[in-house]
Structure 1
Amino acid sequence: MKLPFSPGPVPVPLWQLLGIRNGDDPELWGRLRATQLFVGRRLALFLLAANLSGAVAVSILFNGRVPHWWLATWFVGLVAVSTLITLRRLNTRHLAEGQASLQEMRDTALEGLALAAIWSFPPLVFAATAPAATFDLWMILSVLMTAAAFAMAPLVLAALSFIGGVAASAILLLLLQQAIIPALATLIFAALLVAACITRARFHVMLRAIELNLSDSNETVSLLLGEFEDSRADWLWETDAQRRLCRVSTRVASALGYTPDQLEGMSLLQALAGPSWDTGDFSPGLRLLADKLKRREPFRDLVLPVIVGGKQHWWEITASPRHDESGRFVGFRGVGSDVTEQRTSADKINRLARFDALTGLPNRLYVNEALARALAEAERWGSRAAFMMIDLDRFKAVNDTLGHPIGDRLLGRVAERLGQLITENELIGRLGGDEFAVVVNDATDPARVESLARTIIDTLSQPYEVDQHTLYIGASVGVATSPRDGRTAETLIRSADLALYRSKDAGGGVFHAYEPQLHVDAEERRVLEMALRKALDRGELQLDYQPVVDATSERLSGFEALLRWHNPEFGTISPAKFIPLAEETRLIGPIGEWVVRTACEEATRWPDDVRVAINVSPEQLHNPNFVAVVARTLASTKLAPHRLELEVTESVFMREGTGAVKVLDRILELGVRLSLDDFGTGYSSLGYLSRTRFSSIKIDRSFVTAAAKGVPEALAIIRAVVALAGSLGMATTAEGVETSDELTLVRALGVSKIQGFYFGRPLPVSEARALAGRTGPAFRAA
């Protein structure tokens, strides 16, 4: 409980003291008002005696001076009123520990006014007929007001009413008799009595409030102590100078599973060691405790395992050495508590923080800690540690086609296989997604590390049976070894990641060890990425246009728009270098949108029979907004849809099954033409041709060059593609035609269109626009 007022110069507000208003804590003020009424009850008989004594004195004073029946009537009235008020006061026994309302306090004012009215008769009526008795009457009234100030002080409102009424009567009497100074003295005397009443009432209220506050505090402490006793979570213990338990409490004995008599005189270490006391197999915590006891040093929050009833518990103990008056060491005294539940919870939290919930393998945090320990040990002993990063190949296709639940179960199978490969020298963990890692504590034998990497790839590449699905994935591995590739965990992880990137870039299914050149390449990629992010805004990108001509008439049928990047710092950068970078960093979206818009705007300046072909990245087709980009561009440029041809490669279909087909179908609904680029260099699935309405198939330059050299396989492939395209109503375009012999060959094989340096290199926009305006056979390169 908190006191509802501050212990300052005016600690209790007057309005609450009088009972006119309630305080901030109505319940507490109800109890304080009850205390005021109860104190008034204890003084009720004293007040009655004071009134009766005063009545007798007045009767004697005015006997023979006023009519007897006046005195008798007044005396009977006073006795009746005083007795009634006394009975009301005595009837407040129930308020000793209860509550009192504001109305009950206000009613006391009526009691004071009733008494004051009765006592106004002697000065105003009796003294008028016997002025000589004025001084004696004034003395009687003064004593009566003093007695009332004492008896009615807790009931301030009643005291003020009575003292004020009697004093007003006495002052009026004195003023009528021209006794100004005695009247003024009476006023001051009454004011002093009122001040004394208020001070005494405040003292009573403050004292009671403090008592209530202490009572509630004691009750709270008692409850806390009771909870402490009932919880049986902590206990006190004590040893003598020989570290033997003494004055063993029932609490300590119960916690250890003994009786107090069994523990009395037993070594503290023996009691805590339990069964291990005989074997000497002590825990590190117990050894630390023994050292502290031996050195007589205080200790705090020492955690150690304790066997109780065949089960392991965890105790936390704190103690300080004890000394007698002469300073001689007499033992230890401390407190202990069972923290088994907290320890178990902490272990669970620690496991959740350091182990992967899906596979049960150590997570990234645990792997980093293990690698740091392995590097520290390797540096200490002058050996090597290694770190492998493993990335699953084709895992995303499983998630995309069969769903994440199947993918999660597949990850569990991968973890099981990896767990069967490692020994005590390695630790395997999952970094997240489809990335795993291996920490090799001792990597002094490079051949052994290389063999483990190959074994991991071979093992993870075996088929998996998951929910009646036979799944085929692979693995790529990057390896970094300390101290050559890094002396810290962060550096070694970065080196392994660069090596893994090289493995993935090589097509997957292989491992690479870190080389310094990888860091150089990565830095070059980082710098190029920063430059590429600004290239579009700086106007560094441009389109060149390579002519595509009809194989028979050699007339211009269209241009292929080819993206070029000219950077002031790095010069001309090959598309083979910056296009994959744009795809990886998701910059291909805004760049591809710019290419489509720019090429279509330029095509509107060409004759209506000249088309523009644009290469489309797989990343663009997997963006649902790409169809909207094409539609908006055609609408804004007013280019006829059939004059736009989008070229895609087979890799589009290898990523998400039929997802790309749906996007291409929506593009075809716009009236745009589609061309399958580099057919024959990938998987060359005929299913792609049957599911998507391509306008033409482009034959890769490698087949044209090989066929010109007489390679039978290349000739056969070109003939097959031309025949297949003809049967499906598609045109064919031969890329990379550079000589007259190549031209003659592809014409003989039946190719529809030709593209290559023989008819024109990629041209700047001004030259392409000029060429498009010509009539007749297309311009031939020298």
Structure 2
Amino acid sequence: MALLRDAVALPWLIAWGAAMAAAAATLTRILVARAEPEAPLPLAGATAAAAALALVWAVIPLHLAAATEPAATHALDLLLATVMTASALTLATLPSAALVLVAGTAAATAAPFALTGRPVVAAIVVALALLLAAGIFSRARAAARIGAAESALREREATVQLLLRDFEEGADWLWQTDAARRIVGASERFARACGVAAAELEGTPLLQSLAGADWESAAVPDELRLIADKMTRREPFSDVALPVTVRGETRWWQIAAAPRLDAAGRFTGYRGVVSDITEQRASAERISRMARFDALTGLPNRLSVNEELTRALSEAERWRARCAFMMIDLDRFKAVNDTLGHPVGDRLLRRVSERLAELVTENELIGRLGGDEFAVVVRDASDPGRLERLAHTIIETLSRPYEVDQHTLYIGASVGVATGPRDGRTAETLIRSADLALYRSKDRGGGVYHAYVPQLHLEAEERRVIELALRRALDNDELHLAYQPVVDSRSGAVRGFEALLRWSHPELGDIPPAKFVPIAEEARLIAPIGEWVLRTACAEAAGWPDDVRVAVNVSPEQLHNPQFVGVITDTLARTGLPARRLELEVTESVFLREGTGAVKLLKQILDLGVGLSLDDFGTGYSSLGYLSATRFSSIKIDRSFVQAASRGTAEAIAIIRAVVAMAQSMGMATTAEGVETEAELRLAQELGCGSIQGFYFGRPLPVSEARALAIAVRRPDASPAATRAA
């Protein structure tokens, strides 16, 4: 304004100064606001303010041509160059605004020079503007990098502050030591965790604080020795779980630390963090125990047993020794569950586990595999005699009576043993061998011990082959029935036939029922096979004389199917056989699974008019309660009693006589099975048996011969001798 006071009228000069002040103030406010760290970029406002300021400065060159004094002209040129330079410096963080101001000022300055014939001066102005523009770009990039670095630094500082706050407020805390491993700058939280005041903790050796009362005795845990070793070598360490004792309570701390170095690279101590992981460790231990120990008995579970057996096999291979695996299955335990309920069964399993736990030494591990199966891993089985004695001790111990909820319970145990690595070099194969041995023990009636022999594997393979073939036997029409006559003990007249199942395989030949029927029951094939037997026998008997009955053996599996009564009804309806001519033979084992359910089903069968016969009476569980609960039409005396009685065995004679007397008093008929000689026939007649069945009167006959016999005995001239001949 001073330079232009002679060239511009005072009112215009004042107006120009006010416009200059207003534009400069606006741009200054924008620059001040831009200095705030979190302020947004005011690009549009700054560019507009810079453009306004450039227009105000552009007024000055219009008067340069009118200026007559060279000094004033040079002063104005210097002023504009200064404005351009200052704009480039002050507006570096707003490059668009700086470029607008520099370009506008340069254009307004260079134009008069070019118009007045001074192109060199105009070129100098343009060159200065280009240099300033390059500087603006360079400074803008540098400012952007600095801004990004400052932003990242602020973010890191915020993160560190947050972590420090979390450490101070959470279950973790920081600590540091000097070069002599003494605690410095002890925090209140660290001191409270150690059970002392911060002043007492300051300057205390870190290892002494962690060791507590064990520091003097040097009986420190291995984890603390690891920390001491790392600190001696000035190495970092992390995730070291250390037990510490605070106020008499054992806690678990997880410690991590790294050495501190000064600017010169000299060691100045350690800085680290401690986490209290007591609860996490306790939770992990509970989870681990749940994964490896049985919840009901507290014994090691199947996983732990497998791991221990794997270790035992590895040691046996390494030292060329022997280990062993025992599988224990409780006998008659299912009857306890079915009659008294699962809560009583669970308490019984706890008593069993307690007895087993008392038998083992450091050489054995006992576990529960599941259900009523237990196992013993014998680490050193070099003495076969000791192994056998242990098996017999287990059977004897588990067979003693139990008192559970005011019930006296009697169960037993069967044991199968396999020795490794002879009977299996892996845990899986050794367990399979022991399982085969256990199967043999159960097959012999239970309560015995059996060791694995290779023959058991061959028998298991044979069972597998038979099961596969049996699944296709019905579809391939390989099954057929044979009929054995049941005759009157006095007259010899045929009263009926027992339908007996037979199987002829095209490759395996004739397979006896004693071999394939148990397999059919285990494989759950007995139900469809049993229905086929019932329908076939009833269809055949429908063509016999009206007073000839047919007897069909029924499996316990069929009698525990609520739909079985419907199967009988449908069969009688389809074949036209009267219900009174059908008799179903059951064994005492049917009552052991679900006594109440079996009795109800048998009553429904009796209501149909079908007869019931109790087969093999005296060889099973011999409970007279079965006879009072169910109205059997007949009792079949097992052939073992008949043969023993024929040899003069007093006990067998007394049993047959008692059974006959009891059956007569209850309105039941009696049938003596397995009669093969004349002497056995006379004895059965003398003891009062009403019916006879056995080879003496006939072997199981093919269907055609049985049909012919049933029709032949109805002739008026038929006699007992003719019956036998037929």
Q: Same fold (TM over 0.5)?
A: yes
Supply the distance in 2 between the matched residues of 1:352 and 1:729 (Cα, whole angstroms).
58
**Alignment-derived partner of residue 219 in structure 2:** 281
Aligned length, in residue pairs: 574
**Matched AA of 1:771:** L
SS in 2 for 1:773: helix
**Alignment-derived partner of residue 418 in structure 2:** 480
**Matched AA of 1:384:** R
Alignment of 1:675-690 (within 5 A): 675-690=613-628
How far the C-alpha of 1:426 sits from its partner, in A, is: 2.5
Determine which of 576, 595, 619 is the counterpart of 2:533: 595
**Alignment-derived partner of residue 731 in structure 1:** 669
**Alignment-derived partner of residue 428 in structure 2:** 490
Supply the distance in 1 between the matched residues of 2:178 and 2:287 (Cα, whole angstroms).
39
Say if 2:389 is the partner of 1:445. no
Supply the distance in 1 between the matched residues of 2:495 and 2:576 (Cα, whole angstroms).
20
Q: Deviations over 1:422-454 (max 9, x none)?
A: 233332222222222222333333333322222
Determine which of 429, 449, 461 is the counterpart of 1:511: 449
Change (3 A) 1:217 1:404: farther
Determine which of 577, 599, 609 is the counterpart of 1:661: 599
Say if 2:504 is the partner of 1:566. yes
How far the C-alpha of 1:344 sits from its partner, in A, is: 1.2
Supply the distance in 2 between the matched residues of 1:440 and 1:516 (Cα, whole angstroms).
21
Conserved? CA contact 1:761–1:781, under 8 Å:
no
**Alignment-derived partner of residue 333 in structure 1:** 271
Change (3 A) 1:285 1:700: same
How far the C-alpha of 1:509 sits from its partner, in A, is: 1.9
Say if 2:724 is the partner of 1:780. yes
Conserved? CA contact 1:757–1:781, under 8 Å:
no
Alignment of 1:632-671 (within 5 A): 632-671=570-609
How far the C-alpha of 1:670 sits from its partner, in A, is: 0.7
Supply the distance in 1 between the matched residues of 2:478 and 2:259 (Cα, whole angstroms).
79
Q: Deviations over 1:219-240 (max 9, x none)?
A: 9969955861453322233345
Determine which of 463, 468, 481 is the counterpart of 1:543: 481
Change (3 A) 1:740 1:456: closer
Q: Deviations over 1:113-149 (max 9, x none)?
A: xxxxxxxxxxxxxxxxxxxxxxxxxxxxxxxxxxxxx
Alignment of 1:241-260 (within 5 A): 241-260=179-198
Change (3 A) 1:422 1:409: same
SS in 2 for 1:507: coil
Say if 2:258 is the partner of 1:314. no
Change (3 A) 1:263 1:748: closer
Q: Which segments of 5 or more consecutive residues in structure 2 lack a partner in the other structure?
A: 1-10, 16-147
Q: Deviations over 1:448-493 (max 9, x none)?
A: 3322222222222222222222222222222223222333322232
Q: Which segments of 5 or more consecutive residues in structure 1 lack a partner in the other structure?
A: 1-52, 58-209
Supply the distance in 2 between the matched residues of 1:333 and 1:229 (Cα, whole angstroms).
14
How far the C-alpha of 1:561 sits from its partner, in A, is: 0.7
Change (3 A) 1:223 1:560: farther
Q: Deviations over 1:44-97 (max 9, x none)?
A: xxxxxxxxx9xxx9xxxxxxxxxxxxxxxxxxxxxxxxxxxxxxxxxxxxxxxx
Say if 2:700 is the partner of 1:762. yes
SS in 1 for 2:367: strand
**Alignment-derived partner of residue 408 in structure 1:** 346
How far the C-alpha of 1:246 sits from its partner, in A, is: 4.2
Determine which of 637, 641, 654 is the counterpart of 1:703: 641
How far the C-alpha of 1:525 sits from its partner, in A, is: 1.9
Q: TM-score, normalised by structure 2?
A: 0.72
**Matched AA of 2:562:** P
Supply the distance in 2 between the matched residues of 1:632 and 1:716 (Cα, whole angstroms).
43
Supply the distance in 2 between the matched residues of 1:449 and 1:283 (Cα, whole angstroms).
40
SS in 1 for 2:438: helix
**Matched AA of 2:565:** V
Q: TM-score, normalised by structure 1?
A: 0.67
Conserved? CA contact 1:615–1:648, under 8 Å:
yes
Q: Deviations over 1:286-332 (max 9, x none)?
A: 23333433444433322221222222111222233444555555544
Supply the distance in 1 between the matched residues of 2:649 and 2:408 (Cα, whole angstroms).
39
Supply the distance in 1 between the matched residues of 2:362 and 2:303 (Cα, whole angstroms).
20
Conserved? CA contact 2:492–2:723, under 8 Å:
no
Conserved? CA contact 1:645–1:675, under 8 Å:
yes
SS in 1 for 2:472: helix
SS in 1 for 2:546: coil
**Alignment-derived partner of residue 458 in structure 2:** 520
Determine which of 371, 374, 397 is the counterpart of 1:459: 397
Conserved? CA contact 2:183–2:204, under 8 Å:
yes
Supply the distance in 1 between the matched residues of 2:224 and 2:470 (Cα, whole angstroms).
63
SS in 2 for 1:538: coil
Conserved? CA contact 2:302–2:368, under 8 Å:
yes
**Matched AA of 1:490:** E
**Alignment-derived partner of residue 385 in structure 1:** 323
How far the C-alpha of 1:333 sits from its partner, in A, is: 3.4
Q: Deviations over 1:529-561 (max 9, x none)?
A: 222223223322221112222334433322111
How far the C-alpha of 1:761 sits from its partner, in A, is: 1.9
**Alignment-derived partner of residue 369 in structure 2:** 431
**Alignment-derived partner of residue 24 in structure 1:** none
Change (3 A) 1:311 1:245: same
**Alignment-derived partner of residue 622 in structure 1:** 560
How far the C-alpha of 1:366 sits from its partner, in A, is: 2.2
Determine which of 622, 626, 630 is the counterpart of 1:692: 630
**Matched AA of 1:574:** P
**Alignment-derived partner of residue 438 in structure 2:** 500
How far the C-alpha of 1:601 sits from its partner, in A, is: 1.7
SS in 2 for 1:496: helix
Change (3 A) 1:378 1:468: same
Supply the distance in 2 between the matched residues of 1:781 and 1:293 (Cα, whole angstroms).
105
SS in 2 for 1:429: strand
How far the C-alpha of 1:672 sits from its partner, in A, is: 0.2
Conserved? CA contact 2:167–2:174, under 8 Å:
no
Identity of aligned residues (%): 71
SS in 1 for 2:724: coil
Determine which of 169, 172, 180 is the counterpart of 1:231: 169
**Alignment-derived partner of residue 305 in structure 1:** 243
Determine which of 568, 582, 586 is the counterpart of 2:524: 586
Conserved? CA contact 2:485–2:698, under 8 Å:
yes
Supply the distance in 2 between the matched residues of 1:584 and 1:385 (Cα, whole angstroms).
31
**Alignment-derived partner of residue 494 in structure 2:** 556
**Matched AA of 2:346:** D
What is the RMSD computed on CA atoms of the aligned residues?
3.3
Change (3 A) 1:286 1:444: farther
**Matched AA of 1:461:** S
